[in-house]
């Protein structure tokens, strides 16, 4: 069970890094005064989805 948890966390972190890269490529460096590097996975997902809809 521990190995599965670690894999899920690693996958989530890789997706998080990918979302940060996409936001930076769009010119987004912060959300509500907070750096994209400090946002959690779910907030990043929300911000990325919102920005994609705007385009």
- pLDDT, tens digit, 9 for 90 and up, residues 14-49: 999 999 999 999 999 999 999 999 999 999 999 999
pLDDT band at 1 (very low <50, low <70, confident <90, very high): low
> Binning pLDDT at 50, 70 and 90, where does residue 50 land?
very high
According to DSSP, residue 38 is labeled G
The partner residues of 34 in beta bridges, in order of sequence, read 31
State the pLDDT at residue 2.
86
Residues 6+ apart with CB under 8 A from 36: 20, 23, 24, 28, 29, 30, 44, 47
pTM given for the model: 0.85
Enumerate the domain spans of the chain. 2-54
């Amino acid at each position: 069970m521990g190995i599965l948890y670690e894999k899920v966390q690693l996958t989530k972190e890789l997706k998080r890094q990918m979302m940060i890269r996409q936001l930076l490529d769009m010119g987004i460096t912060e959300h509500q005064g907070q750096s994209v590097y400090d946002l959690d996975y779910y907030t990043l997902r929300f911000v990325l989805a919102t920005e994609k809809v705007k385009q």
